[in-house]
A and B are shown apart, each in its own frame.
Chain A
Amino acid sequence: MRVEMFTFLLTAAICLAGSAGVVLLRNPVHNALSLVATLFGVAVLFIQQGAYFLAAIQVIVYAGAIVILFLFVIMLLGVDKAEGIDRDPILGQRTAAIAAGVAILGLSLTALLSVGSRVTGQASTLAAIDGSEPNINALAKVLFTDYVFAFEITSVLLTVAVVGAVVLSRKAGSAIDVAEFPEGTTADLLQAKHDAAAVEQEVLEEVATEDETPEGEAETTEEALR
């Protein structure tokens, strides 16, 4: 009991410190690292409550993938410089935000602490956790029976997200250009390119032979041809 309490208090401290870091530190890289601390803390709390599979996922997906993605974007965009958090441009935003936060925290704590220490809900009769069964098995069983439809939908969601990300991260201002993907085989394309180059060459030579043509006009012709 003592060990459990100690573990909880230690992890809770790390979590709170981490989340405070996310909000208070100015450098986005530091924010991301603080976030990792919180995520690890939550993973420990998951383990403490028997959700072993989720703890693993928490570390792998959240800390391993999502935060890395954050860091990657920070580096990519070069926004790793400190942000001025001295004053807020929206009038009263910070005051209101803190007031709302205090209200939420105060009300939740009232709700939580005033009813004593017990959760008042009904214990499950349908998907009870069987102590003899490993956590992964139990979770897999409900995921692939009761929630199988939702599970399949998440795969659709992820596909949509990937497609969305690809579309968003294409070069700015360029819709898919049909000219970029002309019909025909590669050989045809190369031939066409070759022909076009030859024609252009011919035209250029023609222009060059006309000595009287002023320089500027020849250039305009060339531009127009392109």
Chain B
Amino acid sequence: MTRTAVYEKLNKVFRDVFDDDSITVNDATTANDIEDWDSLEHINLMTSVQKAFKVKLTMGEISGLKNVGELVDILEKRA
């Protein structure tokens, strides 16, 4: 999957999970940038990402991501 295609899909997932159509994420986006993105919502987000991209993330990946860029790196390779 191309990086652009990943971002297109990923933005939809973010908007759906956080119920906010104005969200657009980029490589540098972190949990600090989105108000509701706490550890609980992180679980929902990761579940939704895995479903949307039909990939399985490992426990280490889910808990170790530093920013959206790192997630996109993984999805680019696997989805």
> Are A and B genuine complex partners?
no
Interface residues of A (CB under 8 A from B): none
Interface residues of B (CB under 8 A from A): none
